[in-house]
Structure 1
Amino acid sequence: MRWHASEPSSGPAEAESTVDPDAGRGAHDEQPIRATIVGGHPLRGSYRTPGAKNVVLPMMAACLLTDETCVIQNVPIISDVLVMSDLLRQLGAEVVLNADEHTVTITAADVRSSSPDPDLVQRMRASFQVTGPLLARFGRFDCAAPGGCQLGARPVSVDITGFQGMGATVALAQGVFHAEADALYGRRIYLDYPSHTGTQNLLMAATLADGYTTIVHASREPEVVALVQFLRGMGAEIHGEGTSLIGVQGRSHLYGTVARAIPDRMVGGTMAVAAALTGGDVELLNVRPDHLEPVSVQLREMGVDVIETNRSVRVVAPDTLGATDVQVMPFPGFPTDVQAPMGVLMTQAYGVSTIVERVFDGSMGYMDSLTAMGADVSVQGTRAVVRGPRQLHGRHIDLEHSIRGMTALTLAGLVAEGETVLDGFEFVRRGYEDLAGDLRGLGAVISTGPQAAPVRRAAAAV
């Protein structure tokens, strides 16, 4: 099917949803929220890990590859999912998001546009993943460069170079990528970096390409494997997922499917760190212990007791934490999304710990706020040295736009002396349905409410 965005189309009306439609406008349009935390309370109990947003979002984008209905289960009802729902509706897909059942049902039979709303695209990086499906099925896209967390340089060159290698013509004008292709062709594509979003986007494009596509130096992340399983359920022929060499035999048509998202290893890892940080004892339910292994290994090295079953991980904090050294790498290395929580944990460990960040070059801004709270931290580029233990002290902090940094400073508040006030807390909804409520359920003293006015007492360039 080939068409042009300029062709008229009546298109379907927006689908009814069981969530508040205004909630889909994302964290940028939400009322500013202030979180207040009183430290000194260990986390205890059990926590059910939600579905992984880093696979749910590309799965939602992949629904554009077929005109049949797809159902995704175990969906976290977070701002990013709401924004992706709005984005797909704007393109013409019918999207029904059921918050009670944590499912999303998508039918892309009447897609009427190849131009994603730039305002929505600017809200999250994952929005760019609609470009592969649009190019593969409809032969074009016009998409602004994506936004999202402020984490240094995060180019989409992997995606663009791959599209060009498959026969597309791509041009960048005034911040918008314009791509066209009469057809995509199977090629051998080498990625100069194993980007998981780039790998996912090229995988989706290759499923409808003419011929066999080989992706060399592909991402091995569990979310890539899970997306492959979803695409295979749609009828795609893919081999080698979980390795650095993935092959895709293109098909002329894909079909609807029903799939369940894997547990979120980033959220699970963060909660594991929070338990160790607060001297707690928390059992994580609905997790994949093998996906959490990079975090579990580091926690054990610090003296934490980590007990695994097939679907759960129990984290029991020791009397004292020992220092450790962390190299942040693509999977199966230590995950970048848990780097900031681990940095907070290091402030409570005896000795000198180090972090070397090898994924995102701008992800250590939260360290400035940790220093303001009393941490002994020095940062040079992508390397941080943390000396501990140090007593942290509550501060009033105006947070910047990074889920990782906000979550880390929330954890810092859990062990800080006195009261920690975090402004801009609404942005954390991009990755967590209710972080404050989850922590409160485990024993934390944390409350949220409207943010009266902007205050900058200790800026966090996270």
Structure 2
Amino acid sequence: MDILHIVGQQRLEGTVMISGSKQSAIPCLAAALLTDQQVILEGVPDIGDVATMIQIIEMLGAVVTRQGDMVTIDPSHVEPMPLTGTDTRKLRGSIYLMSVLAARFKQGVVGLPGGYAIGPRPIDLHIKALERLGVSMRNEQGVYYMHVEELKGNRVYLDLPSFGATISALLVAVMAEGTTVIENAACDPEVVDVSTMLTNMGASVKGAGTDEIRIKGIKTLQGCRHTLIPDRMEAGTFLAMGAVLGRVTVDNVIPLHLESIIQKLERFGAKIDIADDSVTASVDLAKPIDIRVFHYGGFPSDLQPIISAVLLKPKGASVVVDKLYPQRFRHVQEMRRLNARITHEDASIIIRGGEALRGTEIEAHDPRGGAALVLSGMLASGETLLHHAEILDQSYERFVEKLKELGALVWRETV
């Protein structure tokens, strides 16, 4: 276990180079197995979840090499080996391999994917999408057995604009005979990114980034070289810190992808400066605001914990509602240990900001909540000890090092 020591109330100032997107990296690593030719991915973040995904595709026979942020995948020897181990169960993104195995090998065995304890994330939308495209699935004690007679394009309507289900459908549809139309699709930038990679592999994908995606399937895909988009969740995390602790610039970003967090930070009272590929957030007047989490276009659930930490600063009451992941509030009990006044009921919290926070010992339960607790500790007086700080490495590349470069007084201790 790692403990992160945080000395509070230090000003942050400087520039952070944002890494490639985790939410693109995981499905793009899966998509690389749709071909038997070499795939090169650039901008791949060196984080725990990516390392786990690489281990899983290596179990299938892929040969993977990393040089800096460039990952080369040789999928020529991949076989549909059963995936029922602990790696599969601890990574939510392993679900995409169900689609890949069904599309390329017409069979597969995959254990029920896991992830972090942020509430139930049922995979029924994924299953329905695959079944619409010709994948027969049988669930035996949490293990899915897949068989395909013939993949055929079809109309796939998603009951919710689920990011994961949209990706799952895409990965099968590109190799299904005929045309597939995904309706009520997720519009996230990472859907566009994965679609761009698939197009580079020879697929025909139209409409990514809208709620209707049309895919014309082909029999074989080729290798490609693809650069991932920047990680908007990492960028949002550091912008939130700049908004309450000083002046932070996030570089190597696409500002359009950050609109929802930028708008909320401006309403909060932060000063925001936008350039071509960078955004700066700095302290100005802080006031309470209300936040409602929604699918892309709205405020992202991944940044709900960090905005909750931001709202500890201004005097007055702020309300945060997250009906997408109503159990993603485990950070709240830890913030209370710092003397935060927060009430939690169902899918919402009420934050009564302006209280004097005091450093103490707290615990991280997931990466996004952990980042929020780091910010909470930096807002508090004295020293805060964040237990299980290693969980930050699952989603953030060089997180502690980047904080130090901004002027934070933080250090890790392994116990």
**TM-score for the superposition, normalised by structure 2:** 0.98
Corresponding residue number in structure 1 for 2:266: 300
Identity %: 31
Corresponding residue number in structure 1 for 2:292: 327
Corresponding residue number in structure 2 for 1:283: 249
Corresponding residue number in structure 2 for 1:204: 171
Corresponding residue number in structure 1 for 2:382: 418
Query: Equivalences for 1:13-52 in 2 at 5 Å?
Result: 32-52=1-21
Separation (CA, whole Å) in 1 of partners of 2:150 and 2:374: 48
| Contact 1:170 1:178 (C-alpha < 8 Å) held by counterparts | yes
Q: Number of aligned pairs? A: 415
| Range that drifts further, 195-204 or 263-272 | 195-204
| Contact 1:284 1:312 (C-alpha < 8 Å) held by counterparts | yes
Corresponding residue number in structure 2 for 1:6: none
CA displacement at 1:281 relative to structure 2:
0.7
Corresponding residue number in structure 2 for 1:17: none
Separation (CA, whole Å) in 1 of partners of 2:179 and 2:142: 32
- 1:433 equivalent to 2:397? Answer yes
| Contact 1:289 1:312 (C-alpha < 8 Å) held by counterparts | yes
| Contact 1:136 1:184 (C-alpha < 8 Å) held by counterparts | yes
Query: Equivalences for 1:380-391 in 2 at 5 Å?
Result: 380-391=345-356
Corresponding residue number in structure 1 for 2:320: 355
Corresponding residue number in structure 2 for 1:313: 279
Q: Which amino acid aligns with 1:297?
A: Q
Q: Which amino acid aligns with 1:430?
A: Q
Q: Which amino acid aligns with 1:169?
A: S
Q: Of 228, 239, 252, which residue of structure 2 is paired with 1:272?
A: 239
Q: Which amino acid aligns with 2:51?
A: L
CA displacement at 1:114 relative to structure 2:
3.6
| Contact 1:91 1:113 (C-alpha < 8 Å) held by counterparts | yes
| Contact 2:180 2:215 (C-alpha < 8 Å) held by counterparts | yes
CA displacement at 1:211 relative to structure 2:
0.9
Name the SS for the 2:64 alignment partner.
strand
Separation (CA, whole Å) in 2 of partners of 1:42 and 1:180: 57
Q: Of 30, 34, 45, which residue of structure 2 is paired with 1:76?
A: 45
Name the SS for the 1:420 alignment partner.
strand
Separation (CA, whole Å) in 1 of partners of 2:85 and 2:124: 18
Name the SS for the 1:37 alignment partner.
strand
Corresponding residue number in structure 1 for 2:201: 234
Gaps of 5+ in 1: 1-31, 452-462
CA displacement at 1:40 relative to structure 2:
0.7
| Contact 2:59 2:81 (C-alpha < 8 Å) held by counterparts | no
* Per-residue Cα deviation, 1:270-315 (whole angstroms, up to 9, x for no partner): 000011121x111110011111110000000011111101100011
CA displacement at 1:398 relative to structure 2:
2.9
* Per-residue Cα deviation, 1:211-263 (whole angstroms, up to 9, x for no partner): 11111111001100111011000000011111111111000110010011000
Name the SS for the 1:301 alignment partner.
helix
Query: Equivalences for 1:86-235 in 2 at 5 Å?
Result: 86-98=55-67, 100=68, 102-235=69-202
CA displacement at 1:111 relative to structure 2:
1.1
| Contact 1:90 1:117 (C-alpha < 8 Å) held by counterparts | no
Corresponding residue number in structure 1 for 2:306: 341
CA displacement at 1:350 relative to structure 2:
2.4
| Contact 1:264 1:287 (C-alpha < 8 Å) held by counterparts | yes
**What stretches of structure 1 move > 4 A for 4+ residues in a row?**
none
Corresponding residue number in structure 2 for 1:369: 334
Gaps of 5+ in 2: none
| Contact 1:397 1:422 (C-alpha < 8 Å) held by counterparts | yes
| Range that drifts further, 433-442 or 254-263 | 433-442
Q: Which amino acid aligns with 1:407?
A: A
* Per-residue Cα deviation, 1:328-348 (whole angstroms, up to 9, x for no partner): 101011011111000011110
- 1:261 equivalent to 2:228? Answer yes
Q: Which amino acid aligns with 2:204?
A: E
**TM-score for the superposition, normalised by structure 1:** 0.88
Separation (CA, whole Å) in 2 of partners of 1:214 and 1:86: 32
CA displacement at 1:399 relative to structure 2:
2.7
Corresponding residue number in structure 2 for 1:16: none
| Contact 2:293 2:301 (C-alpha < 8 Å) held by counterparts | yes
